[in-house]
A and B are shown apart, each in its own frame.
Chain A
Amino acid sequence: MRPSSSPEPASALAALTWACSRDLRIALRHRGEVALVLVFFLLVGSMFPLAMAPDPGLLRAIAPGIAWVSALLATLLSLPRLFAADHADGTLEQLLLAPAPLAALLAGKVLAHWLTTAAPLVLLSGLAGLQFDLDPEDIAILALSLLLGTPLLTWLGAISAALTLGARGGSTLLGLLVLPLAVPVLIFGAGSVEAASVGLGAEAHLSLLAAGSILASMVGPATLSLAVRIAFE
């Protein structure tokens, strides 16, 4: 009947790699946008000592909390970048219609987003730690907690960003959706550094964060594709 034959759908790994490398290339061309998020992280962290007496003991005590809240807000700020541009120029629509597993394509996008947003935050947390005069061991725990907790955070944020695509209320609505869901990550992330600093050991916190991130990475892609499909109905 038809002489032309249709292509075989892409494998999940190929789709993930394609989407991830594409988004990384785009982020490379918009380095300013990426850097902005990191600057925001440091900026928010600096607001707190300015808003209270810069007593070193106090600052050291509240440092993990401030660092985590700043990371949370910075992640929130960067989330619209994940889908909004692709939604506006029609690229996201074409991803939905591609002969490739949507979950893998979206996982590639989320991975690229984590690499360009959260991973630099992990590195910057050292600077934040110095601002608050944290011990090197505590800084290491802080960085590790961010490393283990940000994937979970990114998945929660990605799902919320997909649900709010095309909804009124913009990033404030996104914040209302993400922040309550992020409470456990915040508690265990900041709590890990606190536990380490009083000598209780952060293993429990860190393992919970890691477990959460692994679980999110397994369940996230399917949930995210459902959320994106809903956004296009």
Chain B
Amino acid sequence: MRNHPESPDLESTESGLVVDSLSCNAGYRLLFHALSFQLPPGCWLRLTGPNGSGKSTLLRALAGLGRPAEGEVRWNGIVRQPGSADWHSVMLYQGHSAGWKDSFSAHDNLALQQALDSGLQTDQLSADIDALLERCGLHSRASLSFSRLSAGQRHRLSLARLAAAERSLWLLDEPTTALDAAGQALFGRLLGEHLTQGGCAVIATHLPIACEQTALELDLGARTGTAPDSGH
């Protein structure tokens, strides 16, 4: 376990996530242009906007899955390298597809994913897995085949993963859809704990999130302005 390395050269006055002039395309369309924001530690950003406004694309670009047309993403003053294992140890992305295998049980799914999330280092996980499942209300269905679980129960497993993984930055795309009231409350608590520990989160959602800390808001639908000559 190590702390995230600081840049040796400059005095990093920045902490947290800094997005600098990010522009993203989707196919032939420019989704957003010169987007900039800063997210200090302990804060979270709520992404809103109509369908197709680029919320998912922005999250994916931050995670490193898509290539932004231009712009820079910095974490703690250091330019993030998409695809680097270091960046992957800092952030956690959950998109629309949850990333669980139907062939495994909830327990096995979480065990496998948790092993990967922690860098395949330790073996002390099995006890933790049960505790996590308990906390997220999946204990009774832990050993059932995953395909037997409802959509809401599958989403709860994603919550368990969030609780387990030690990540500073959460990038979540509609995390509370399909969760019932208890699940949404659980998510709010998890988010609160994460932020209290100094983490950040960027969450695209159209549902209210019951979290103590108030969010910074970014509405991609309200941003206007077309790009100058940019093509594909």
Contact = CB atoms under 8 A, between A and B. Distances in A.
The A interface, classified by DSSP as helix, strand, loop or mixed, is loop
Nearest to B96: A90
Interface in A100-131: 100-102
A22 B120 contact: no
Q: Determine the interface band of chain A, counting residues with CB < 8 A from chain B.
A: 35 or more
Contact of A9 (B15, B63, B66, B88): B88
Interface in A1-50: 1-11, 14-15, 18, 22, 25-26, 29-30
B120 A89 contact: no
Interface stretch (A75-83, A91-99, A184-192): A91-99
B65 interface: yes
Interface in A45-92: 88-91
Contact of B86 (A9, A11, A22, A89): A9
A18 B85 CA distance: 16
A12 to B, nearest CB: 10
Given A9-B88, A9-B89, A98 B116 contact: yes
A7 B198 contact: no
Given A2-B41, A2-B168, A6-B4, A98 B88 contact: yes
Given A1-B76, A2-B4, A101-B85, A89 B197 contact: no
A74 B184 CA distance: 47
B227 interface: no
The B interface, classified by DSSP as helix, strand, loop or mixed, is loop
B199 A100 contact: no
B15 A1 contact: yes
Interface residues of B, number: 46
B232 interface: no
Contact of B112 (A15, A22, A29, A89): A22
19 contacts: A2-B199, A4-B198, A5-B2, A5-B3, A6-B1, A7-B1, A8-B119, A9-B86, A18-B120, A89-B97, A89-B99, A89-B102, A90-B98, A93-B65, A93-B93, A93-B99, A98-B116, A100-B116, A233-B67
Interface of A: 1-11, 14-15, 18, 22, 25-26, 29-30, 88-91, 93-94, 96-102, 229, 232-233
Interface of B: 1-4, 15, 41, 63-67, 76, 83, 85-86, 88-93, 95-104, 112-113, 115-121, 166-168, 197-199
Given A1-B198, A4-B197, A89-B99, 19 more contacts: A2-B41, A2-B168, A2-B199, A5-B2, A5-B166, A7-B118, A8-B121, A9-B88, A10-B85, A25-B103, A89-B100, A89-B102, A90-B100, A91-B99, A91-B101, A99-B88, A100-B120, A102-B83, A232-B66
